[in-house]
Structures are given as structure tokens and as C-alpha cells.
């Protein structure tokens, strides 16, 4: 992604020269601003001794060896690593998978020339002309007089530091905050070509398969044809959304230059963090506390950060642990910011196996680190003591320190609770500095009300935050996902605060990265293929999907508004089905509520500009305009929702009444007869509310951004043992089935809107139909055993043409994977693990999700999912070997056993059948081993640590093996099949 030669000079446009040691010459060692040697010498001769970009004085020494900033002869020209070294570094960063690099040379050739042209040549040449203007008329005089006069003129015309700052301010505002770098053509063009070739081969392959049936095994042949057609359809859905992958690079230093000028208040936008938790016994408070601490210590202005913790289980343990966390944060936050440590979650910082003295030059660091570690250990003891105490609930319920009963003793019947711990009016850190706001929230729950699980809790946080802080952007995290990169919010702001890029962006999604996963990633917990391949492909279309955590939202998009570029559409248009004909009454009725809302917003803003209403008049106007039918019965919330840029509570709101209003908006009946969960906030109707919420936003015309910083923004924990992993996948698959059976199915929802691009729609269709692949997958994995047991096969005797087609199909699959690895940077092991778990999950969790989804949607039989347990402390990878018996393990176990029995039966039959039977055997055995190899991680997981297989697994294995042994004996493969008529003809009487 870097030009083959050296970078261009930002004054004359010529390529930079290389020094004697082969290193590139630049003018400034602070910012490595590229200026050629001739232009640099001209700058020095003209008396310009500060860098044109950053204003740093050039280093230099006089001829006598003393420091002398006025000595032109001794000013140094700095050298950076050679061009080849830089190119190799950028190449390596590209191969890693779209990692962010912040060098001038990281953009593509075209982009680099454009940046140099706009921010370099034209800008600096104008400055050069203006600075030299006074000296041009004096060049024709005597040289002896001209030299001192020119020098004096240049010194007079050179700008002062204040003038330089004034000059840099508009230039800083023009610097890009991010840049899009498409994958280079040398990698992308062959990839696309092979995709098309593979599509053609698939067509020829299916033509051969359909026109050459196997009459002797027609049912098996027909089953295989149906399965293969579905696999091809699934491949198309998965492959083509990756047609235009892109990389994005951010420049957070330009963000600071634009919005954080020295001596002025920070212009960065405020951000509300959401952390959701339910059961403190399954989601340890220490894990949640580390997430909260990493948020409070984030590298962002403290007055711009607010952290809201949703306790949907109303547990006093969560509340008390948050009290301790707020107290510990008074010491932890200043320590993090003083020494710029990473990550800023104490548990994970202190557990790093690295040299923590590296790059830490402060003499007090070692002493303060030891003291902080001791404080953290004491804090852990206090929190763990609370957890141990909470294991047994008292009969009379929990009581607070003042003896008052805890309001949340009944987790299904309790009032709403809000507690502000830190913030503008709360406690400060030990150095007296302000801390970010920390708010505990537990929404009201009453019997008879539908609470919508996590989606309902997130919507409650949206309303509470709108009343208390109303930041224009929202970042939501799971309780086990901590901030691993303290500058992650700044990375997102490079897109959201860019007036050009962020105008129609509904959210910025970060990839999920995980700690504590075994080195081989046995069950594909990292999901590397999805996050580094599929999501980057979607970023080149309309943006990545929302994956539930690590996402920064535009609050206006959550409120159901259309993007600014869509506001000029006709009033009868809708994100679902725009109406081009006045006769299309059904489509107009679908958009009635949305059109009414946007018209009411417009009318209210217009009347506000023309009239000054007092609070009572404004409340009456809001009620008359039917905002209450959309947002609910809270005037304060409605006013905050109508603020275009957010960033504060409405002026008409009474500060003393904000907590009371916040309690009101989290009442259990607040959402009744409103648009919450239908058009506003997190969308209800699926356990995977993340996919549904992002899908609705993009149907309205919004786009999203995928941000992959060099240092992962967030890290979390994943269930690494087999049973928990399958239950997690089951939950995701069931959510997809629910969406498929709902009105929001991407197959038909918003089909005529024109706002969702067709490749984006293919990607969403893939997310809801992939569980149904389990049906043909289980059937296809059963075919090898049946073929081996019956002696039949699904493919007829191959001709030369058929052999070429099969070979071409296998080669195209391999080449597609290799080229995909080449542009994405994903390693082949990750691809293979993903392929293996596709078979494991497809034959177990996905299969159950299909049946449970239909039972839930058609018969009303609901399946309650428990929260996946997160381990706070354990031996390394100890959880990997835990086996928790579940019915999800039965189908893969069955497939393994029947294929093993089939292999044994096939070899036994070949031994009895003679030389001719070995040829057909190899194809069948290869087919069976393909299934066994894909299920090998599952088989390894069943064995547990040191091959101690659970008793229940042994019993199931024996039972299934016995059943298939009986079937095998019934088929009797050892006896040569002879017709009875032949026996009668050859029968001799005496022998008979």
C-alpha cells in the first residue's frame, strides 16, 4: 500500500533522496515530515527554522560545537529507516489483516499523491510565496547588499509562533481523520476471478450430477444432489458479500489537532458507556469491575465519559461490588493516566507476562506499581469475600448497611433503582481530579410485564442516559469485555466526528478479540474468519453487522431517525417499502408512523425558531404532536431526543428532578403503546437482538464502519469448553431462526426500499438461513457410512470429463481459500478450525436451533437460555477439559460412531470381495474420513483431560455401536449375494 519509490517532497513534489546509509532524509525528527534536501536548505537559507507541519524547531549545532539555534550551517537533516524497511513494515501490517498504521506512507499510491497535492504542494507553496514576497523586488541589487537585506526581510516576514499556530489551525482542520484503502488489485483481482471460475465449474458440475443419476442407489444419489445444491447456495450467500473488502486507517493525532487545541475546551463529543450484567454468580463481579475500571481510565476527557452499569438481576452483590469499584477507581484511574499503561483493566494488566519496566522512565513507577498491585489484591479480597457471602441467601432476604431491606430481593418484582457514584458532583480521585460519571441502574420489573431480556435492559439505559447526560454517542460492552486500547474511543471518533464520513454512519463496530483461549483454538472461539474476512468484506459494501458488543452508536440512529442524506425523500417513502405510486395504499400505511414522527420533529423545530415557548407550552406542544406515542410519557426524554447533536440535558429540565425522571423512564410500563423495540432502540423479537437492530438501521439507509486498530480495542472471555461453546452457538442460531420466521426476515423485509444494497442483503440472508444448513449437513455426513455398509455409492463410474470437473472443483475450492488468506492475513489454521467447527456446530447446535425455533414460533414452546458462566480465576485452559453432558453432544457422537463402523465394514467387505472391490472402496473411505477429520476436535473434547471419558459418553457409544452392529449383521456383508435361481440350477441332488 506504499509507492515503490521514496515518498514525495511536500513542497516541490519530487521524490526524497536517500542518504549514504540508504536511509530516507526527512526534515523533522518529531513528525518525519518529508521534505527534500534542496527545499530544506532553501528553508534554512530563508531563515525558517521550525518544521512546517508540527512547528518543532530543527535541531542543530554551531560550528564551534555549542548549541545555537541561529546557526544555519549546523542544522541537522534527520534520517528515518529506509524506504524498503518501511515498505516491508506496511506490507506486514497489511498481511495481519487490515491493521491500522499511522504513517504518511500507509495510504495507497493514488491517495498519497492526493494528500501530498492538497496538504503539501498547494498549501506550502502559497506560504512560501507569501513569505518571499517582500524579498523579490530586491534581488536585482548588489550581492553584498542583497545578502543581509534579504536575510533581514526574510526574518521580518517569517511568522511568529502565534502566527504559526493560527496558520496550523485551519490546516489541522483540513487534515483527514481516516482514509479508506482498498485491497491492492494484485491480490483482489485473482480472488474475484477464481470466484467467477468456481461459479462456472459449479454449474458444469451440477449439470453432470443431475444428468448422470445412479440408478442402483437412486435415494442416496437424490439426497446427495439436494445437499450439494444447498451447500452451493450457502457458498454464494457467504462468498459474494466479500467481493469488495477494504482497509481503514485512522489518524487520532489529527483528531486531537482539530478538536483539542491548547488553551481551549475539548471539542470531542461525549460518550455514554453501557455495561450489562444479569447474574453475579455466573458473571463474577470481579470481571464486571475490571470492565468498569477500564472504562473509567479510558484516554478521553473525563467530563465527556459516563459509564452506566445495568444490573438486570437487581443483585445487592453487584451493587456492593460497584461501591468498592468506585472507591478503588479513585486510585486506579490516576495511576493509569500518569504512566499510560495498557490495558487499563487491573486484572489483565497485572497478569501480563511482559517486562513492565519497558519504556517506563519515571523513577517512581516501580514503587507506585507495587503499591497499586497491593491495593488491587486487597480490593480483590474484599470483592471475593462479598461473593462468598452471597452464595447463600438469607431467609429474610438481603439488607443494606443501614438495616433497610434490599429492594431487589425479588429479582422479578422490584422497583427501579439508580445510584450515581462518581461524576461531576461525586467523589474525586486521590489527586483531586474529576472522575468520569459512574451510574448503577436496575430497571423496574413486575409480574405480567414483558421485559425483553438484554434488549429491554439496553433500551432502559438509552432512556436513563438521555435524561442524565444525553451524549450523542453510545458505546455498549458486555460485562466480560474490557477496554484493551485506551484510545479506542478516539479511533471511533475519527469516523463519527468527521463531517464527511460520519454524516450517515449509524455505528462503528470493532472486532471481538478474546483472552484465555487455548493456543490451537480447538473450537474456533476467536471467530477469526468472520471478524477478519467477512466483516471487512461488508465494510466495502454498506458496513459490518452489529455483533452485540464493542460498538459505538450514533444516538440519533437508535431513535429510529433516517440518516441526514435521506431526509429529502418524499413523505410517502419508507425504509420498508417506498411508494412510487399513489395507489399503493399498503406501502403508505407502513410509513405512516415514521412520516408522522419526522413531520412532527420538523414542525417542532420550526416553531421553536419562530416562538419562544415556556416549559408548560412546550410540554403541551409535544403532547399534541404525538411524540408521546413514539417515545413515551417523558417530556424530558422527548426534548433530549429532539436535540440534533445531543451533548447535554435540555435547558428546560430541572436538575433536581432528573433522578426522579430517570426512575420514571425505567418503569416496567413505560414502553407500552410506544415504538420502543419496534422502531426505536434495540429491536425485540429475537435473542440475537444485535443482528436485528443493525439490520433495521441499515434498512433506513444508514451505513456502518469497521474499525480494526493495531492494538485490539476490546477483549473479552469466551466459553472454551465444548458444552458451553455449543450452547452459545445454539443461542445465536436460535436467534437467526426467530428472525427468519418474523416480519423482519431479510428475504422480504424492505425488499423494495432501495436503501439496503443487494450484496448487504445477501449477507443478512446468510445470517438467518445458516442454521438450516444443518439438515443437509447431517444427511451428507451420514451418507459415507450408509455407502460403506450397503456397498453402494452416490457417484457413478467417473468418465474423463467427470474427473476433470471434480478435479477443477477441488482446485477452485483450494485456490479460493488460499487467495482469501492472502488478502485477509488469516492463517490456514484459523481457516481449518472454522471449517471444523462449521461441521461440529452444524450437526449439533444448529440442528437443535431449527427444531426449537419452529416449536417456539409455531407452537409457543419457549426455550429459556441460561447465561454462559464466566470464570474469574482458573488454571490456564483448565475450563477447556470440562465436560457437561447435554443432548447437543448426541448427533456428532452418532456421526462419528456410524462412520467408524462404516469404515470397518468397508474394509471387511473389501477383504472378502477380492482385488476388484478395493478401487470403489477408496472413494467411500475418503468420504468417511472427511467427516471424521472434521469432527476430530469434538471427539478430542469428549475425551477430556488425560482421555478420561465421561461414563455417559461411553454408554451412548456402546448403545449406538450395538445398534449399528446389528444393522451390519442384518446386511451381512461377509456373504456373497447369490440369486436363488442360480443356486437351484447348480444344485446337485446328492449335495442338496
Task: Please identify every residue annotated as catalytic.
Answer: 312, 690
Non-local (6+) Cβ contacts of 772 within 8 A are 740, 850
Cross-strand pairs, 181: 247
**Is 879 within 8 Å of 720 (Cβ atoms)?**
yes
Of 29, 10, 16, 13, the closest CA to residue 77 belongs to 29
Of 785, 791, 784, the closest CA to residue 912 belongs to 791
- Kindly state the DSSP code that residue 244 receives in the 8-state scheme: S
Of 313, 342, 337, 657, the closest CA to residue 468 belongs to 657
Phi-psi region of 73 (alpha: psi -120 to 50; beta: other; left: phi over 0): alpha
Of 375, 383, 384, 373, the closest CA to residue 328 belongs to 375
- Kindly state the DSSP code that residue 392 receives in the 8-state scheme: S
**Residue whose C-alpha cell reads 553584498 in the numeric block:** 144
HSE-CB at 896 with a 13 A cutoff on CA atoms is 22
Cross-strand pairs, 271: 305, 473
- Strand 473-478 relative to strand 271-277: parallel, antiparallel, unpaired? parallel
Nine cell digits for residue 265: 475546551
**Is 766 within 8 Å of 238 (Cβ atoms)?**
yes
Of 688, 717, 323, 709, the closest CA to residue 482 belongs to 717
- Collapsing DSSP states into helix, strand and coil, what is residue 80? strand
Sheet of strand 271-277: strand arrangement: 417-422, 437-442, 305-311, 271-277, 473-478, 551-554, 505-509, 703-706
Separation of alpha carbons 955 and 928, rounded Å: 23
Of 826, 833, 828, 830, the closest CA to residue 99 belongs to 826
Quickly list DSSP for 281-333.
TTS-HHHHHHHHHHHHT-SS-GGGEEEEEEETT--HHHHHHHHHHHHHHHHHH
Cross-strand pairs, 24: 18, 80
Of 915, 917, 887, the closest CA to residue 905 belongs to 917
Amino acid at each position: 500500500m506504499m509507492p515503490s519509490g521514496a515518498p514525495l517532497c511536500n513542497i516541490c513534489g519530487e521524490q526524497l533522496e536517500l542518504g549514504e546509509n540508504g536511509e530516507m532524509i526527512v526534515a523533522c525528527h518529531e513528525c518525519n515530515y518529508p521534505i527534500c534536501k534542496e527545499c530544506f536548505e532553501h528553508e534554512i537559507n530563508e531563515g525558517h527554522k521550525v518544521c512546517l507541519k508540527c512547528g518543532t524547531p530543527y535541531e542543530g549545532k554551531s560550528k564551534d560545537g555549542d548549541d545555537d539555534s541561529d546557526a544555519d550551517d549546523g542544522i541537522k537533516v534527520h534520517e528515518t529507516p529506509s524506504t524498503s524497511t518501511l515498505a516491508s513494515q506496511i506490507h506486514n501490517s497489511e498481511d495481519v489483516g487490515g491493521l491500522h498504521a499511522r504513517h504518511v506512507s500507509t495510504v495507497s499510491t493514488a491517495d498519497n499523491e492526493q494528500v501530498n497535492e492538497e496538504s503539501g504542494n498547494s498549501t506550502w507553496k502559497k506560504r512560501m510565496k507569501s513569505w518571499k514576497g517582500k524579498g523579490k523586488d530586491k534581488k536585482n541589487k548588489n550581492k553584498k547588499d542583497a545578502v543581509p537585506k534579504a536575510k533581514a526581510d526574510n526574518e521580518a516576514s517569517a511568522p511568529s509562533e502565534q502566527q504559526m499556530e493560527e496558520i496550523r489551525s485551519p490546516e489541522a482542520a483540513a487534515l483527514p481523520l481516516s482514509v479508506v484503502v482498498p485491497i491492492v488489485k494484485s491480490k483482489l483481482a485473482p480472488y474475484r476471478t477464481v470466484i467467477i471460475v468456481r461459479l462456472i465449474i459449479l454449474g458444469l458440475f451440477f449439470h453432470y450430477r443431475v444428468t448422470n443419476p445412479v440408478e442402483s442407489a437412486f435415494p442416496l444419489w437424490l439426497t446427495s444432489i439436494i445437499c450439494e445444491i444447498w451447500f452451493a447456495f450457502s457458498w454464494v450467500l457467504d462468498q459474494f458479500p466479500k467481493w469488495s473488502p477494504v482497509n481503514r486507517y485512522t489518524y487520532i493525532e489529527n483528531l486531537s489537532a482539530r478538536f483539542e487545541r491548547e488553551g481551549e475546551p475539548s471539542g470531542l463529543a461525549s460518550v455514554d458507556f453501557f455495561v450489562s450484567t444479569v447474574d453475579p454468580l455466573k458473571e463474577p463481579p470481579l470481571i464486571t469491575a475490571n470492565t468498569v475500571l477500564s472504562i473509567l481510565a479510558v484516554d478521553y476527557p473525563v467530563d465527556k465519559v459516563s459509564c452506566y452499569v445495568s444490573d438486570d438481576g437487581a443483585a445487592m452483590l453487584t451493587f456492593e461490588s460497584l461501591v468498592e469499584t468506585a472507591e478503588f477507581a479513585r486510585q486506579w484511574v490516576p495511576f493509569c493516566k500518569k504512566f499510560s499503561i495498557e490495558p487499563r483493566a487491573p486484572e489483565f494488566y497485572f497478569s501480563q507476562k511482559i517486562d513492565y519496566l519497558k519504556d517506563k522512565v519515571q523513577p517512581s513507577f516501580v514503587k507506585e506499581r507495587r503499591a497499586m498491585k497491593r491495593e488491587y489484591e486487597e480490593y480483590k479480597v474484599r470483592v471475593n469475600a462479598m461473593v462468598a457471602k452471597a452464595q447463600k441467601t438469607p431467609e429474610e432476604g438481603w439488607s443494606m448497611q443501614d438495616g433497610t431491606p434490599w429492594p431487589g430481593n425479588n429479582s422479578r418484582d422490584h422497583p427501579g433503582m439508580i445510584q450515581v457514584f462518581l461524576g461531576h458532583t461525586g467523589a474525586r480521585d486521590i489527586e483531586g481530579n474529576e472522575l468520569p460519571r459512574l451510574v448503577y441502574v436496575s430497571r423496574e420489573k413486575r409480574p405480567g410485564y414483558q421485559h425483553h431480556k438484554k434488549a429491554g435492559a439496553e433500551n432502559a439505559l438509552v432512556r436513563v442516559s438521555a435524561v442524565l447526560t444525553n451524549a450523542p454517542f453510545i458505546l455498549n460492552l458486555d460485562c466480560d469485555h474490557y477496554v484493551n486500547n485506551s484510545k479506542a474511543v478516539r479511533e471511533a471518533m475519527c469516523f463519527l466526528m468527521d463531517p464527511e464520513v460520519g454524516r450517515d454512519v449509524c455505528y462503528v463496530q470493532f472486532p471481538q478479540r478474546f483472552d484465555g483461549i487455548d493456543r490451537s483454538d480447538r473450537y474456533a472461539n476467536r471467530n477469526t474468519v468472520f471478524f477478519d474476512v467477512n466483516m471487512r468484506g461488508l465494510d466495502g459494501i454498506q458496513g459490518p453487522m452489529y455483533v452485540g458488543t464493542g460498538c459505538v452508536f450514533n444516538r440519533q440512529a437508535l431513535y429510529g431517525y433516517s440518516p441526514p442524506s435521506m431526509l429529502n425523500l418524499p413523505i410517502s417513502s419508507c425504509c420498508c417499502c417506498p411508494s412510487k405510486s399513489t395507489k399503493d395504499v399498503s406501502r403508505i400505511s407502513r410509513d405512516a408512523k415514521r412520516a408522522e414522527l419526522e413531520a412532527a420533529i420538523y414542525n417542532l423545530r420550526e416553531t421553536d425558531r419562530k416562538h419562544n415557548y415556556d416549559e408548560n407550552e412546550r410540554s403541551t406542544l409535544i403532547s399534541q404532536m404525538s411524540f408521546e406515542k413514539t417515545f413515551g410519557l417523558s417530556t424530558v426524554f422527548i426534548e433530549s431526543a429532539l436535540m440534533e447533536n445531543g451533548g447535554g440535558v435540555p435547558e428546560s429540565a430541572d436538575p433536581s428532578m432528573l433522578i426522579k425522571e430517570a426512575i420514571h423512564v425505567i418503569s416496567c410500563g413505560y414502553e407500552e403503546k410506544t415504538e420502543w423495540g419496534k422502531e426505536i432502540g434495540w429491536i425485540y423479537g429475537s435473542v440475537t437482538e444485535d443482528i436485528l437492530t443493525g439490520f433495521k438501521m441499515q434498512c433506513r439507509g444508514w451505513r456502518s464502519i469497521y474499525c480494526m486498530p493495531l492494538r485490539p480495542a476490546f477483549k473479552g472471555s469466551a466459553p472454551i469448553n465444548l458444552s458451553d461453546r455449543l450452547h452459545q452457538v445454539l443461542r445465536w442460531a436460535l436467534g437467526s431462526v426467530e428472525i427468519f420466521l418474523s416480519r423482519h426476515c431479510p428475504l422480504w423485509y424492505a425488499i423494495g426500499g432501495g436503501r439496503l444494497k443487494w450484496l448487504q442483503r445477501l449477507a443478512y440472508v446468510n445470517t438467518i438461513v445458516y442454521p438450516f444448513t444443518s439438515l443437509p449437513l447431517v444427511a451428507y455426513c451420514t451418507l459415507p457410512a450408509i455407502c460403506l455398509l450397503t456397498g453402494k455409492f452416490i457417484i457413478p463410474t467417473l468418465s474423463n470429463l467427470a474427473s476433470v470437473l471434480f478435479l477443477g472443483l477441488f482446485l477452485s475450492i483450494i485456490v479460493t481459500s488460499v487467495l482469501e488468506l492472502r488478502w485477509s492475513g488469516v492463517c490456514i489454521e484459523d481457516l481449518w478450525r472454522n471449517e471444523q467447527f462449521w461441521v461440529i456446530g452444524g450437526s449439533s447446535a444448529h440442528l437443535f436451533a431449527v427444531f426449537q425455533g419452529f416449536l417456539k414460533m409455531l407452537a409457543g414452546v419457549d426455550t429459556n437460555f441460561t447465561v454462559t458462566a464466566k470464570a474469574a480465576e482458573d488454571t490456564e485452559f483448565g475450563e477447556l477439559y470440562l465436560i457437561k453432558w447435554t443432548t447437543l453432544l448426541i448427533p456428532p457422537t452418532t456421526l462419528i460412531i456410524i462412520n467408524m463402523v462404516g469404515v470397518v465394514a468397508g474394509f471387511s467387505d473389501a477383504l472378502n470381495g477380492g482385488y476388484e472391490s478395493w478401487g470403489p472402496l477408496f472413494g467411500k473411505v475418503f468420504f468417511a474420513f472427511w467427516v471424521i477429520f472434521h469432527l476430530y476436535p469434538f471427539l478430542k473434547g469428549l475425551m477430556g483431560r488425560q482421555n478420561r471419558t465421561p461414563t455417559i459418553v461411553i454408554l451412548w457409544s456402546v448403545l449406538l455401536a450395538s445398534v449399528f452392529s446389528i444393522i451390519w449383521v442384518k446386511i451381512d456383508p461377509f456373504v456373497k449375494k447369490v440369486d436363488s435361481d442360480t443356486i437351484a440350477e447348480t444344485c446337485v441332488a446328492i449335495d442338496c
